[in-house]
């Protein structure tokens, strides 16, 4: 790995470190939103319901942005594959791109459900 490739890899890792911080924030927001959802179902608290919906929409909006980042990164990796790459490397990069594409699609579907499900009939979960 030459100096330029090393710098690029370190830059990517710095961005991924930031994304891990975003995920930690999402964990805490999700935990809080669960308590709001519980409060809504137990006490029929409409204020908690709306706060819960807004937080869930915010969470899935942020996740969609993060997923698009990884999709773009995966696409660029596949597009810029070295000419001397093995067939296995090509296959794995392509599969990584396809997996990233499916994750973006699922994230957008979850966001759509969060926006449309005003009565909280659908349980939204992400892993």
- Residue-wise pLDDT for 57-110, tens only, equals 999 999 999 999 999 999 999 999 999 999 999 999 999 999 999 999 999 999
pLDDT at 125: 67
Helix (H) or strand (E) holding 24: helix 3-43
Q: Is the pLDDT of residue 123 over 80?
A: no
pLDDT at 127: 45
59 burial type by CB count under 10 A (0-12 exposed, 13-18 middle, 19+ buried): buried
Q: What is the mean pLDDT of residues 13-41?
A: 96
The Cα–Cα gap between 38 and 36 comes to 5
* pTM confidence score: 0.87
HSE toward the beta carbon, residue 53, CA cutoff 13 A = 18
The Cα–Cα gap between 57 and 60 comes to 5
């Amino acid at each position: 790995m030459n100096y330029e490739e090393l710098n690029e890899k370190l830059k990517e890792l710095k961005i991924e470190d930031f994304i891990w911080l975003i995920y930690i924030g999402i964990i805490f927001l999700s935990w809080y939103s669960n308590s709001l959802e519980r409060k809504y179902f137990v006490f029929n608290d409409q204020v908690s319901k709306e706060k819960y919906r807004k937080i869930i929409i915010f969470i899935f909006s942020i996740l969609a942005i993060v997923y698009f980042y990884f999709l773009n990164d995966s696409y660029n990796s596949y597009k810029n594959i070295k000419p001397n790459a093995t067939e296995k490397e090509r296959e794995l990069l392509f599969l990584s791109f396809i997996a990233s594409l499916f994750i973006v699609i699922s994230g957008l579907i979850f966001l759509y459900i969060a926006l449309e499900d005003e009565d909280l009939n659908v349980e939204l979960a992400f892993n």
